[in-house]
Chain A
Amino acid sequence: MTNFSLFFLYLENINNSIEFHKDEIEKLDQNIGDGDHIFNIQRGLKESLSLREELKNNQLNEILKKVGIKIMTTVGGSSGALFSTLLINMAKAYNNELSDQKNIALMFDCGVEAMKKRGGADLGEKTMLDVLIPVSKKLNELADKKDSKEIASEIMKAAEIGMLSTKDLIATKGRASFLGERSIGHIDPGARSSQIAIEAICNVVLNKLRRKQ
């Protein structure tokens, strides 16, 4: 399968999974944010999927860059800035002399580092980074493994542990931080949507597609 068709398969599965969990994400955001997160994520996915024809025959780095710019110019809010930073910086780090696994691990690491810088946040602050940083670490640890299904299962686990860890954290970044200690006991909506996205990608690798509702 080409990078192009694989990328859009990921995107479609993410879109279907987010749609399936839409009410849950919105509820999480209303608990500790202001309820705009799910709409921003869904707008971003819709706009990204609309690039399918335009991006045919493009290399992975070109696809990531163009989708990143699309998200940057259509989503807004924190998620627009952060996810576009992730994708654009992943594209910049692309190195096709590396094995696929190593290339992905390197790109993801660079993307996540850029996100940390953009948001001024790090592990343990009750944000999407509590999912993305452990996933990046795991990708690098597993970059020598050959079995893509084994990698996908491990990544899925890391994402879920990271997402669940946000429940007991006190938010220090983003709108949830205005709640202070009242943010404890709620899973971070950005962490949940990121984990759903990672899970959806892994599920494509594991041949478990979520059908459109």
Chain B
Amino acid sequence: MKKFVNNVDNILVESLSGFENAHNDILKVHLNPNFITRKSKPQNSKVALISGGGSGHEPLHGGFVGFGMLDAACPGQVFSAPTPDQMEAAAKHVHSNKGILFIVKNYSGDIMNFEMGAEMLDFENQTIIVNDDVAVEDSTFTTGRRGVAGTMIVEKTVGSLAETGASLEECKKFGDHVNTMTGSMGVAFTSCTVPAAGKPTFDLSNDEMEFGVGIHGEPGRKREKIRSADEIASGLISVILEDLKPENEQEVLLHINGFGGTPLMELYLLFESSKKILDKKNIKLSRSLVGNYTTSLEMAGGSITITKLDQEIINHWDSPIHTAALRWKM
């Protein structure tokens, strides 16, 4: 294992300290229990948005704390859900009498720990469960679809709505709406190495890819021989569109997300492949974002996320934002 490490047991705290110091104009990191907040509390009372999950997906979620997006993020150990006391402490720190909205990716560990955190609170709270990964079949009898790169889009748009002073109910409803308008699917070219494990999570031969991989390197739909970027894009997009069923000339946001080990040059190439496919299908590309936003340590590969847009989602996507990982119009 070759990584920037001093002591494997201290990775998280050392990384969080660096994160705070690199962004000390807008962020504050609280330790024991660990959570990240904006440096100063919003001036007006608003619904407080809290997300979190295992570490190793940076900039998700800490990089999305700041004006126009999250109020707090709770980082767990690498790929492990955070603990309920983190959510409790974060909620107590950021709430301002308009309630707490938890944004949780659909994994058993995250759901359970956020649920336990919510039970410890004596003020109003609601939870949005993001499950945009179309690689996994949804069913009420299973854990169901995972929350992946589309989570960032939910956090950005609901974060914007919350800044307007909208109620907890309105924010929850809008978040659920953005979630249903969003679909994602990814492909891995290599595995990733959890620092504490010191060796790759899975083996993938040089000419293989894991189609429909999750953001922890957990297996996807099938393992197959690697194909051209156009063919991969076409495979991913056809599953996403089957799920989203867009109308003719539907406006969409296209997000190409890197898993951490793939250069931006390739991600832009994948964007181009995807755009060509959408053009051919008469789907109108109206907003886009390319980069490493929901990573899986150093895994090579990436995911495609498509969100069907309506005017409300467009407005809240375009609105000003100032976080460590996303910043525009301010």
Contacts and interface: CB of A to CB of B under 8 A. Distances in A.
Interface of A: 26, 30, 33-36, 39-40, 43, 72-82, 84-85, 118-119, 172-175, 177-180, 182
Given A35-B197, A36-B194, A119 B79 contact: no
Contact of B218 (A33, A39, A43, A79): A33
A80 B143 contact: no
B169 interface: no
Interface in B91-144: 107-109, 112-113, 115-116, 135-137, 141-143
A39 B136 contact: no
B203 to A, nearest CB: 9
A73 B84 contact: yes
Contact of B143 (A35, A85, A178): A178
B6 to A, nearest CB: 18
A51 B196 CA distance: 24
B33 A73 contact: yes
Interface residues of B, number: 37
A76 B113 contact: yes
B17 interface: no
Contact of B113 (A34, A81, A178, A179): A81
A175 B112 contact: no
B181 interface: no
A78 B108 contact: yes
Given A75-B83, A81-B81, A180 B137 contact: yes
Contact of B108 (A35, A74, A85, A174): A174
Contacts of A43: 77
A179 B109 CA distance: 17
| Chief secondary structure at chain A's binding surface | helix
Contacts of A72: 83-85, 116
Interface of B: prevailing SS: loop
Given A34-B201, A175-B216, A73 B143 contact: no
B109 A34 contact: no
A39 B197 CA distance: 8
A85 B116 CA distance: 9
A74 B219 CA distance: 27
A179 B146 CA distance: 12
Contacts of B113: 76-77, 80-81
Given A39-B197, A72-B116, A73-B83, A182 B77 contact: no
Contacts of A79: 109
Contacts of A180: 137
B194 A35 contact: yes
Given A81-B112, A81-B116, A30 B141 contact: no
Nearest to A75: B83
Contact of A36 (B33, B78, B82, B137): B78
B214 interface: yes
Contacts of B76: 76-77
Nearest to B53: A76
B80 interface: yes
B309 to A, nearest CB: 28
B91 to A, nearest CB: 15
A77 to B, nearest CB: 4
B57 to A, nearest CB: 12
Given A36-B80, A76-B80, A81-B81, A118 B112 contact: yes
Given A35-B79, A80-B80, 18 more contacts: A26-B197, A34-B217, A35-B194, A39-B77, A72-B116, A76-B76, A77-B77, A78-B108, A80-B81, A118-B115, A119-B108, A119-B112, A175-B107, A175-B214, A177-B142, A178-B143, A179-B219, A180-B137
